[in-house]
Structure 1
Amino acid sequence: MITDRYLVGTRLRLRRAERPDVDGCELKLTQKVPADRAGAVQGLITNTYLSPAEYDLLASLPAAVLFKTRFSVPPLGVDVFDGPLQGLVLAEAEFTSDEEALAFVPPAECVAEVTDDARFTGGRLVGASREDLVAWLAEYGIRPEVRLSTPGEN
């Protein structure tokens, strides 16, 4: 489980990533500066790894919070979102060069390419409502399933 806290008024993200393969979790502060050109080109990313005390101090700052579970399906990291974004699944590939990124062809199972759509970045998704998400997906011809419960149903 990953908990991302986007610190209000900044470009900073505080991450707590529970890792089943190791005892404990990864705590880090990240700043992402987008690339100044479109496409699968990485911008600048700075990570600072934190102690639990440092994380707790920064976690006391006002933040918008996003919850997701990440699965590794090489060459993709697949994020399954929780909360208001429940049902959203995004896959992201990471590369060692811009050329490698530009040559990447998404697997046939990918329903929509959203690389150039800033609405699908964590910093924007964290403030999105369920209604926002449904409207954005409709622009890609995707209609999310909506499950309605009936009284007495668990």
Structure 2
Amino acid sequence: MASLTSDSILLNPLPEIIAALTASSFGILPAPDSQPLLEQTFPRTAEELKSVQEESNRSRKMSERVVGMCRVGLLDGEGHVVIRLDRAGWTIETADGERHVTNKIGTTYESMESLLISASRKYVEAMNREIWKRFEGHPQAVEERG
């Protein structure tokens, strides 16, 4: 069994949520529309983390109490999603906005990126723009876009 560290998303999901929000920032609304929901995230304190580590060491399983929650604002009025990160993955708990977003409620994904690709057309458009920026000025990219 892998060693349990405070960096493990299965012990402490908050750093993973913050990293995912940062990595996705080009295609989502900034805070306060997109942010961790601290009051719904566990563990939050050093004491809670220690409790989870001890429980996981005793049971040899990851604690079901560990959960991270965040809210993500989608671009151009597509809506908002509340996402739960736990042992199962990244799940859309609630959503408002366009039907293609709300139809994804209850769906679980391996990453926030795959969730956003599935749920948000505007995120995909922004991601494609970011990719094309990397190739600006490259002869083949100019040829293909032209």
- Length-normalised TM-score, structure 2: 0.27
Structure in which a larger fraction of residues adopt strand? 1
Which one has the largest radius of gyration?
Answer: 2
Structure in which a larger fraction of residues adopt helix? 2
- Length-normalised TM-score, structure 1: 0.26
